[in-house]
Amino acid sequence: MTAEVPQTLKAALWMTGAIASFSSMAVAGREASFALDTFEIMMYRSIVGVLIVSVILTFTGSWQQVTRRSMGTQTLRNLAHFTGQNLWFYSVTVIPLAQVFALEFTSPLWVIVLSPLLLGERITPVRALAAMIGFLGILIVARPSPETFSPGLVTAASSAVFFALTTMLTKKLTRTETVGCILFWLTVMQLVFGIIAAGYDGDIALPDTQTAPFLLVIGFAGLLAHFCITNALAIAPATVVVPFDFARLPAIAIIGMLVYGEALDIWVLVGAMVIFGGNYMNILAETRRNRVA
């Protein structure tokens, strides 16, 4: 018992870093959007990402890990992530941050729905129930009606689908590729996608002294968030990590209230709890099944 407490504490510290990273990326994305569109934000974010990943690969002597044997899957994965990230950045500029984060938590539920098609995995009764509970949470968060309908709600919910596709394709890639290889092609390909999307009209806005710091935060925080989550999962089970991850919803709700004057919507929190319940029920079932196996 005493040996587990420090590991849980370490996982909590890693997840604190993830929460801070995701929250700072959302705020920085909203601030940068006043001068840049989402494609330009993604392009500059990818430039920062390429530099960071290249420096890490150089200092660790890991360039040999970067291969081209799975370029088809790498391309599909990075197109999905690029699309999801653009939808997410647009969402944080037009709807309350808490709503964006709540709908983003449905991504694992979309993995349940889509994995039989892409990974050949079976939908168990528990997985089906978890998905239905989660989608009930979506209805509570969005409360769709002619009065409450917003393009931002649609893009936030859609981003979760593309993040789910990214997760499944990443799982497929990890069977043959290292994390360094995946991150390198992630940043390089998304830089190319960003240049094409931002420059199709022949007009790419340059960052100024006000927006440049926000772009640095976006690029660094995006990589740091996933690094923190990976480390947390490496030392603690998902049943411990996921509740900590959920803490970023009330955290971003408070940030939205303090920084942007966004009202604390009780239904967003209720819906998010329902989404969390569906996710957590599935995690508990999977954990028990793996122990039996």
Written as one string, the DSSP assignment of the chain is -TTHHHHHHHHHHHHHHHHHHHHHHHHHHHHHTTTS-HHHHHHHHHHHHHHHHHHHHHHTT-GGG---TTHHHHHHHHHHHHHHHHHHHHHHHHS-HHHHHHHHTTHHHHHHHHHHHHT-----HHHHHHHHHHHHHHHHHH--STTT--HHHHHHHHHHHHHHHHHHHHHHHTTTS-HHHHHHHHHHHHHHHHHHHHHTTS--PPP-TTTHHHHHHHHHHHHHHHHHHHHHHHHS-HHHHHHHHHTHHHHHHHHHHHHH-----HHHHHHHHHHHHHHHHHHHHHHHHHHH-
The pTM assigned to this predicted structure is: 0.86
Give the model's pLDDT for residue 10. Answer: 86
Write phi, then psi, for 237 (nearest 5 degrees): -70, 160
C-alpha to C-alpha distance for 126 and 147, rounded to whole angstroms: 35
Q: Which of 44, 22, 24 is nearest to 204 (CA)?
A: 44
C-alpha to C-alpha distance for 69 and 66, rounded to whole angstroms: 9
Give the model's pLDDT for residue 292. Answer: 64
Q: Which of 59, 89, 93, 56 is nearest to 194 (CA)?
A: 89
In tens, the pLDDT along 191-250 reads 999 999 999 888 899 999 999 999 999 999 988 888 888 888 778 777 677 778 888 888
In tens, the pLDDT along 164-175 reads 898 888 888 888
User: How buried is 256 (Cβ within 10 angstroms: 0-12 exposed, 13-18 middle, 19+ buried)?
Assistant: buried
Give the model's pLDDT for residue 285. Answer: 83
Question: Tokens at residue 246, please?
Answer: 């959920």
For the chain, what is the mean pLDDT?
Answer: 88
- pLDDT for residue 4 is more than 60: no
C-alpha to C-alpha distance for 268 and 254, rounded to whole angstroms: 13
| Mean pLDDT value of segment 48-76 | 94
In tens, the pLDDT along 106-133 reads 888 888 888 887 777 788 888 889 889 9
**187 C-beta neighbours (distance < 10 Å), count:** 23
Give the model's pLDDT for residue 242. Answer: 76
Question: Tokens at residue 58, please?
Answer: 């150089």
Q: Which of 45, 279, 50, 85 is nearest to 166 (CA)?
A: 85
Q: In the chain, pLDDT over 70 holds for what percent of residues?
A: 95
- pLDDT for residue 143 is more than 80: no
